[in-house]
Amino acid sequence: MATKTKVAIIICDRYHTCAGGKCLRALHQREGAFEAYRDQDVELVGFTTCGGCPGGNIEYAPEEMVKNGAEVVHLATGLLVGYPPCPHLDHFIAMIPKKFGLRVVVGTHPIPQKYWLLHGSLNTWTEPRWDGHLAATRADEKVRLAYD
């Protein structure tokens, strides 16, 4: 592995007690959004919550992540699969690169099957913008079941 990428993760504050197990497993196994780094070394240099709606921590936490060398921030899968999905996601995607110069990736671990089915039955992700937001975390059913 020649290239090393420094990444940070921001999770939804609804899951502020999350230990990061699924995100870290996906990072180590290069699944979900971390599949993009399958031929790279990756160093996790930051992990925090958005700070709760409307995402006050997004205004300053990435600055600390940049100080730790972050090149890319992953907005965790929980921002997609919580119900309702994060209403501020598009604002975060626009603001973080502009203010902090970080590349933003939506997603961390693959979407668990139980959430895939729930949101499918609720037609949550029918707007075209969701195609891009879900792209890195869709996975196939076998992988999604492994993250239930």
Per-residue pLDDT of the chain (148 residues; tens, 9 = 90+): 457 999 999 999 999 999 999 999 999 999 999 999 999 999 999 999 999 999 999 999 999 999 999 999 999 999 999 999 999 999 999 999 999 999 999 999 999 999 999 999 999 999 999 999 999 999 999 999 999 9
What is the Cα–Cα distance from 10 to 47, expressed in whole angstroms? 6
- Which candidate, 69, 142, 68, 80, places its Cα nearest to that of 105? 80
Which domain, by its residues, includes 107?
A: 3-146
Task: State the CATH number of the domain containing residue 9.
Answer: 3.40.50
Q: Report the Cα–Cα distance between both ends of the chain, in Å, rounded.
A: 30
Query: What tens digit of pLDDT does each residue of 46-89 get?
Result: 999 999 999 999 999 999 999 999 999 999 999 999 999 999 99
pTM of the model as a whole? 0.95
